[in-house]
Amino acid sequence: MKRADVVIIGGSAAGPQAAMVATRHYMIDSILVIRREEKVLVPCGIPYIFGTLGSPDKNLMPDTVLGDAELMVDEATGIDRSSQTVSTAGGETIGYKKLVLAIGSRPVVPPIPGAELENVFTVKKDVDYLQQLQQVLAGAQDLVVIGGGFIGVEFADECRKLGLNVTIVELLPHCLQLVCTEDLCARAEEKLREAGIRVITGNAVKSILGDGKVEGVELSDGERLKADVVIIGIGVTPNTELAREAGLEIGELRGIKVDEYMMTTDPNIFAAGDCAEKFSFFTGKPIGLRLASIATAEARIAVTNLFEQRRKNRGAMGVFSTKIGDLAVAVAGLHERAAAEAGFDIITGESAAVDKHPGSMPGAAQLSVRLVFERQSGRLLGGEIWGGSTAAEIANTLAALISQGVTAEDVTFLQVGTHPAFTASPLASQIVNAAERAIARVA
List, for residues 406-429, the tens digit of each pLDDT value.
Answer: 999 999 999 988 999 899 999 999
* pLDDT score, position 88: 98
Q: Say which amino acid occupies 334.
A: L
Q: How many CB atoms lie within 10 A of CB 203?
A: 15
3 state DSSP class of 128: helix
Q: Using CA atoms, how far apart are residues 203 and 220, in angstroms rounded to an integer?
A: 6
Q: What is the mean pLDDT of residues 28-54?
A: 94
The SS3 assignment for 228 reads coil
Give the Cα separation of 302 and 429 in Å (integer).
37
Condensed to tens digits (0 to 9), the pLDDT of residues 55-64 reads 999 999 999 9
Per-residue CA distances from 173 to 141, 182, 201, 236 (Å):
27, 9, 5, 21
Say if residues 350 and 373 touch (Cβ distance below 8 Å).
no
Q: Which domains does the chain have, with CATH numbers?
A: 2-105+237-304 (3.50.50.60), 109-234 (3.50.50.60), 327-442 (3.30.390.30)
Strand partners, 167: 144, 198
How many C-beta neighbours within 10 Å does residue 183 have? 12
Alpha-carbon distance of 390 to 218, in angstroms, equals 39
CA separation, residue 246 to residues 100, 268, 275, 356, 426 (Å): 13, 13, 14, 55, 56
Dist CA 254 CA 275 (whole Å): 9
**Residue 362 CA to chain centroid, in angstroms?**
32
Query: What average pLDDT is seen over the chain?
Result: 95
pLDDT confidence band for 442 (50 / 70 / 90)? confident
- Tell me the whole-structure pTM to 2 decimals: 0.95
Whether residue 36 is predicted with pLDDT greater than 70 in this model: the reply is yes
Distance, C-alpha 170 to centroid of its chain: 19
Give the Cα separation of 242 and 103 in Å (integer).
9
pLDDT for res 443: 65
Distance (Å, whole) CA 378 – CA 401: 13
Give the integer Cα–Cα distance in Å for 160 and 156.
6
165-223 residue pLDDT tens:
999 999 999 999 999 999 999 999 999 999 999 999 999 999 999 999 999 999 999 99
DSSP 108-126: -----TTTTSBTEEE--S-
* CA distances from residue 12 to 35, 125, 301, 318 in whole angstroms, order as listed: 9, 9, 17, 19
In the chain, the percentage of residues whose pLDDT exceeds 70 is: 100
Cα within 13 Å of Cα(293), Cβ side: 15
